[in-house]
Chains A and B, each alone.
Chain A
Amino acid sequence: MNKKIAFSVALCSACVFAQTDEVTSYDDAFFDEPATVADEPAAVGEKPSKSSDVTVLDGLSVEDESEAETSPVDTKTKAESVKVLDAKELQGSSATIAEATNRSSGVKIRQSGGLGGESKINIRGMEGKNVKVLVDGVPVDNGNGSLSINDIPIDKVDRIEVYKSYVPERFATDGMGGVINIVTRNLPKSSIAGSYSFGSFNTHKVSLDAKYVWVTDSAKQRSVETGISAYYNYSDNDYKFTTPYMDTTVTREHNHYYSYNIAPFVNLNNFWFDKVSVGGSYAKSFMQVQATSHRVEKMTMDGNGLGLSLGVEKSKLFLDGLSAGLSFNLSASDANLVDTSSVYFYSWDKGDTRVSDEPLGERAIGAPSLAKYTKFSINVPWNVAYSFNDNHSLTWSGLYKYDSQKFKDELTLVRTINNTPFDGYDFSIVSGLSLENIFFDSRLQNVLGVKGFYYKLNADNEKDKITRLKNGNVDKKDFGYSENIRWKIIESVALRAGFQHSLRFPTRDEIFGDGLYVASAPTLKPEKSNNFTAGIDVDLDKLPLILKIHLEWNGFYLLMDDRIYISPFSSTPRPCYNSSGTKTKGFEVETNIDVNEYVNLSWNMTFQDVRSREDDRTYGISEGWIVPNIPRFYTNFGIEFHAGDLFFAEDFFKIYWLANYTDEYYYSWKVSKKQKRIIPSAFTQDVGIEYSIMANRLSWNFEMHNLMDVTAYDKFGESKMGRAFFTKLNFNI
């Protein structure tokens, strides 16, 4: 855990902006939750098995290259539906975390804007708040399923675990669609690591990690680790884009972004506990707001976050096999929206304006804001594990989370109808129990889990707002459960099956509104889902002409009830509502082939058919309709040539081609044969070259994204970045 606590605290509090363009909620507009994030205590003593020859997408196994005390993962069994993207392949790359994750089967990350923009994660058709983003096992997103994960330097990542249609009980969080757990890297000894990246649109990224270890008592293995982790990101984001709203291509001229954070830490090893970790962080972000429909010249958002954390870990607690970890984390943050311009641009034409003596605002005419959102958070994650023996263990995990928040908008205080969000607090306790078993010499592996949830949301009374709301307190409790099993039929073939009953509680914004885009909906019910998954893994080697091949097939059948939608009102704020549940059927195919020691081929494809389960007369929705805004078919290709000791001893060279095809999908419910609002299909290609020397201590990478400069969309109404290059220098000393 050690430095990761500090780092992840900083990480989240720095992610202050999620998106600027398609603003659909307060958090979208402002930032990914400025909450404290802490490392979840590890299941100490469960050191994962090491593995060699980890490929880019390494199947089901969790190949942990870091120390044992990372966040708890399914280290003993391989029964869970998880895909691991390994650090060794990620760290040299110029790709962002979103881009790297987007190459997995079953995962589609819909990017909006450039650096600092929103990355909306879709896993097997479940999107947004149903997908949880964790850093080292602890939720860091703001609950809306988006996170500016591109802020996180990929160099700081040890691995990315993608859990699909499954939220492990040991991650004490709600959610149904899956989890992206970003496990950060832990420098193994006194060392310095860093990188500098430069790319199109004046994009700069700098990251630095430094650690020094004092061994104070080698006999007792006591040591003190201290260090700092920091990063800085900047981009003009001034790429050209187009939308159906305009007849031409427009350059994003008002989208400068920067973010940085600094996170010092101190770890005490084998003093009283196995590990005592203390960390702090400071983070800041700033972004000019770029609209997609009209000119904006002044509107900005910024945020600050300060975090402190303390964690302890202890193995052999009272008895052999029992280990525990606990951490306590505080954070305070604020975010500001400044939209006080007295000039409103109707279009991209500088002369097409409305001018007033009073602030008009640029977000929407007549809706100026000078808003400040402050938040204080406490997170207390814990983890207790007992290993009966090498094959059987029980883990109890939990997370207590408290947030208080205040909102003030100096320009909306005198409104007749007060739509500002409710001040107040909320807290939750989520706790899970996992039983992991290995039988028959690892041929049969099983993970059984149960999880309980309790949430309480409170809204402070203000004037007559509670009267309108009718209830200032909302509390909910429920439970979920899961079962995953893997049976290795023969050495090279394994079958998997899994089931999870889980839920996703409405967020505070959905219940009480956010003051800008989301209206209160106090009667909103949790979404619930029963997820069935199955899969086959085939691993073959020593084949004629092929060194090694991994084949994988996954099928999924997901039944969701009470799906939460945002109202299609033409006005804002808009309330959320429970409507037609969905039925998702789909499958993924994945292959990874090492043709020989120099050439690797990879391919995966995903098909998912997400449809309404029943009629909803209120919104005119009928059973069996295709749910909008969910990609139905996409496929990824990769070819890599690599060679070591090419020019020097311990050098490494690789050149690669990555491609993606995403079929068209729909902006609204598929009703007509003449559906016009379509997110069009696109075939995009990236190429890259990488060279490292001195056993990867120094590496250089160059990538060209969207090589053919294809106009591609991740969402209706906003084209993505066109051709762009990025280059990076990386060092480890």
Chain B
Amino acid sequence: MTAGSERVVERLFFAAAFVSAFVTVFIFGFLVYYGLPLFSGGRFIEILSSPWAPHQGSFGIYPMIVGTLAISMLAMVFAFPLSMGCAILISVVSRGRLSKVIRKVVEAMTGIPTVVYGFVGIFLLIPLVRNVFDAGSGMCVLSASLMLAVLVSPTMILFFCDSFDRVPRSYGHAVLALGGTRIQQFLHVTLPCSWPGIVVAVTLALGRAVGDTLIALMIAGNAVQVPGSVFDSARTLTSHIALVFAADNESLEFKAIFACGVSLYLFTTILVLIIRLAVHERGKCGQVR
């Protein structure tokens, strides 16, 4: 191969990377461009904070933002302790084979399609919530966040375990040598040392919970309202996009879904930056070793 053709291939590699990176920026540009009438003259803030009443000419997405936050935050409230418990079980409490088996099951869980969770949610979880809490149709914030918790837990557990494993062994051995138990070792050494990893895991899981469409769309009920309790129906930004898309095509009402898209894009950007910072912190921690 000549030096010339070698350079051509290298250029191609660069072109591929550039195109992929460019697409990321391009997506943002497209969303803003198509939602344009809604973004001009500082109307974006207004849209974020006003109610959805298309017949009165108000296309605010405030109820959807609250719905998204309520569902995903509640999902995190369920998922965090569950994942922390499972991660402790896998890396600290159980030993040998059992620990490996549980880990395999958790890994396999990350491969379960979202739509399958949604499907089972409709026919198994919703009747359960309806009967146990006597909560109307059962399609509510609580059902959606329970199912989302199941969706995001495996990722969180694996990241927790990974960050526990990254803590240098010698630190832990020092505790054991002083007569400490494995739980003491975990509480006083492993946990404080692995906080950047925990931040990364929680942020990633939150991103998945906010970005997931199918579960909320299928089991949260999709009423456009600011949910007053966990038994109220709610609509997320993602399901709003899917629902309005299916209904209508050329009006200002339709343009509002691009405002949802832009909000989700910006939210993702913030989460990615948080993850970057946390990973950077972990890098610093590594230098101490």
A binds B: no
**B-binding residues in A (CB < 8 A):** none
